[in-house]
Amino acid sequence: MKRTLGAASIGNFGELYDFAVFGFSIPFIATHFFPADTPSAALLNTFAVYAVAFFARPVGGLMFGYLLDRVGRVKVLAVTIWLMAGGTAIIGLLPTFQTIGLWAPVLLVGCRLAQGIAMGGETTGSTSFILESAPESRRGFWVGIIYFFANIPNAVVALMLLGLQLLVGKDTYVDWAWRLPFLLGGLIGVVGFWLRRNLDDPLEFKQAVRDADEHRPLRAFSRPGLKSMLFVALLLPLQSVASYLLLGYMYTFLMKEGGLGSTAALVSNAAALAVYAAFIPVGGALSDRFGRRTILSVGALWLAIVAYQAVAFSASGSFFEALLGQIILAAGIGLYGSACFVAAAELFPTAFRATGHAIAYQLTVAIFGGTAPLVGAWLVGAMGTPMAPGWYVTIVAFINLLLVQWVPETSNVSLRDSIHDRTAHRKAQVPSSEDEPSSSCYEKVPPIL
């Protein structure tokens, strides 16, 4: 079980590394793939390309979600990691706008589409795989571990880019060395595949689908499945907006609106992202103890209170205030996300978990997360104040605080039936331990006559 968690987590690291590299390379990609005569337009266009991958995620979610339920978790995860690694490595080889003109951004969009489709299957696949493999009383913590590895690449990439810029010089990095992290992403994908090659589908999944019909993934579109999708859509807006403002926009914001140098912006953002990643397993463990909805409420309230001041600190021009602002924002995002990630998967029963989760999760993240950097940059210009992103997060946090009260508590459900059979309470099942499969994996044994 622990080897399974380790292999899935490290593979997840490789997948999310690729997305992180693009987010931190936005200022450099803007100069190479769009006309240089209007820098602000080039930057907005690059944010739009960043968003393209998010709108490809529902497509990947629909396709890979069905396959995850139909052919198994592990086989699909092997495909997604190759697709992501290939799209990332090709970006590192693409000719620039100055070389091939409009074909440069067209090819860039194609690579981002490949990354987005891969991510649509990866997020759901790895979450379902670990959720169904975890000890029942520690599902939040185990899912938190893989999301730690999904988010720590953002801090690692930030420090790596800083190291490369110091090593080769800023001009050389902007000229051609920005390609190296993308090429490295292809290599990390190979390593991730190697680590996953010997994994097997969870016992919970095997037993849930053994006697089910082959069209079971389509049950995600039944009335109960659509109801669960609605609950996911109620959970995710705050997590998507706040996390992708921190991940995909804050680095650029610190330089453009806060006046920080690229080094100070990278270091402060990397530290905040490390805090964000660290809070996810901590919050997951707390949600195992106190319930998902309690931690969701605390996280949403925290963000509603601190978001405006956090952005004010970040825009101050002071490195230490920018660091403090991002850290207090990251703590709230990590706390909210810890319960959000596990609850979104627990809302669906095992037989069609991946299909339902992939569609609802990826579509909501595309709408709110993929557009977050673009909306943040647009709001700053439209409102004429760098505080606009703070108001954006505050409003979404207050709304989400109300919405999560409508979402069922999922920490005590049976994975096999989820919220669709509330009588299947975990305490009525076989107890589990950290060294045994989830109790929902055991079959009912007839009494001995």
Q: Take residue 71 and report the two structure tokens written for it.
A: 């052919």
Task: Give 446's pLDDT tier (boundaries 50, 70, 90).
Answer: very low
Reported as a single tens digit per residue, the pLDDT across 50-67 is 778 778 888 888 899 999
Task: Provide the domain limits for residue 171.
Answer: 2-199+222-407
What lies within 8 Å, CB to CB, of 140 at 6+ separation is 283, 284, 285, 286, 287, 288, 292, 338, 339, 342, 411
User: Which string of b and e fits 49-74 if b means at least 16 CB within 10 Å?
Assistant: bbbbbbbbbbbbbbebbbbbbbebbb
For residue 439, the model assigns a pLDDT of 40
For residue 8, the model assigns a pLDDT of 76
Q: Take residue 174 and report the two structure tokens written for it.
A: 């902007």
Lowest average pLDDT, out of 22-36, 249-263, 418-432, goes to 418-432
For residue 290, the model assigns a pLDDT of 96
Reported as a single tens digit per residue, the pLDDT across 135-190 is 989 999 999 999 998 888 888 888 888 888 889 888 898 889 999 999 988 888 78
SS3 content of the chain, % helix, strand, coil (to 5): 80, 0, 20
The span from the CA of 251 to the CA of 274, in Å, is 14
For residue 129, the model assigns a pLDDT of 92
> Is 428's pLDDT higher than 70?
no
Please state the rounded mean pLDDT for residues 357-367: 90
For residue 370, the model assigns a pLDDT of 78
Decide if 437 is inside a domain: no
Give how far Cα 426 sits from Cα of 232, 242, 293, 341, 421, Å.
Answer: 22, 33, 17, 20, 11
What lies within 8 Å, CB to CB, of 337 at 6+ separation is 147, 239, 243, 276, 280, 283, 299
**Burial category of 180 from C-beta neighbours within 10 Å (exposed 0-12, middle 13-18, buried 19 and up):** middle
Q: What is the CATH number of the domain that holds 180?
A: 1.20.1250.20
Reported as a single tens digit per residue, the pLDDT across 11-46 is 678 777 877 888 778 778 888 888 766 676 777 777
For residue 80, the model assigns a pLDDT of 87
Task: Give 445's pLDDT tier (boundaries 50, 70, 90).
Answer: very low
The tally of domains found in the chain comes to 1
For the chain, the average pLDDT equals 85
For residue 22, the model assigns a pLDDT of 83
33 backbone dihedrals φ, ψ, rounded to 5°: -115, 0
Decide if 84 is inside a domain: yes
Reported as a single tens digit per residue, the pLDDT across 282-334 is 999 999 999 999 999 999 999 999 999 999 999 998 999 999 999 999 999 99
Lowest average pLDDT, out of 23-27, 83-87, 283-287, 356-360, goes to 23-27
Residue with the larger pLDDT of the pair 437 and 333: 333
Decide if 208 is inside a domain: no
292 backbone dihedrals φ, ψ, rounded to 5°: -65, -45
Give how far Cα 141 sits from Cα of 26, 72, 150, 291, 301, Å.
Answer: 33, 23, 14, 12, 22
Decide if 340 is inside a domain: yes
For residue 21, the model assigns a pLDDT of 86
Torsion of CA 223, 227, 230, 234, to 10 degrees: 170
User: Is the model's pTM score more than 0.85?
Assistant: no
Decide if 212 is inside a domain: no
What lies within 8 Å, CB to CB, of 249 at 6+ separation is 47, 372, 373, 376, 377, 389
Residue with the larger pLDDT of the pair 182 and 448: 182
The span from the CA of 327 to the CA of 347, in Å, is 30
Task: Give 442's pLDDT tier (boundaries 50, 70, 90).
Answer: very low
Decide if 401 is inside a domain: yes
Task: Give 421's pLDDT tier (boundaries 50, 70, 90).
Answer: low
Alpha helices in 249-352 (DSSP H): 250-256, 262-290, 292-314, 319-346
The span from the CA of 181 to the CA of 193, in Å, is 19
Decide if 108 is inside a domain: yes
Decide if 327 is inside a domain: yes
The span from the CA of 344 to the CA of 140, in Å, is 11
> Is 123's pLDDT higher than 70?
yes
